[in-house]
């Protein structure tokens, strides 16, 4: 189970890193994205 947890954690960190790099390339920041990332108030949508 620890292997699965560490794999999930690793994949999440990769996803976060990729999102950060993509945002940098697009000149986007969390500030100017918040409005439509949270259109659905029940959950935060990233992709």
Q: What pLDDT does residue 11 have?
A: 86
Q: What pLDDT does residue 19 have?
A: 83
Is 9 a domain residue? yes
Asked whether the whole model's pTM tops 0.75, one would answer no
Is 42 a domain residue? no
Is 43 a domain residue? no
Q: What pLDDT does residue 42 have?
A: 60
1-47: pLDDT as tens digits = 678 888 888 888 988 888 888 877 777 666 655 555 555 556 655 55
Note down the domain range covering 25.
Answer: 2-37
Is 19 a domain residue? yes
Q: What pLDDT does residue 16 have?
A: 86
- Which residue, 19, 39, 38, is CA-closest to 29? 19
Is 10 a domain residue? yes
Is 28 a domain residue? yes
Cβ–Cβ < 8 Å for 16, 24: no
- Which residue, 15, 25, 24, is CA-closest to 46? 15
- The two structure tokens encoding residue 16: 């976060």
Q: What pLDDT does residue 45 have?
A: 54
């Amino acid at each position: 189970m620890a292997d699965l947890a560490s794999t999930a954690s690793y994949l999440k960190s990769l996803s976060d890193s990729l999102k950060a790099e993509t945002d940098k390339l697009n000149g986007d920041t969390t500030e100017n994205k918040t409005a439509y990332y949270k259109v659905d108030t029940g959950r935060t949508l990233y992709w």
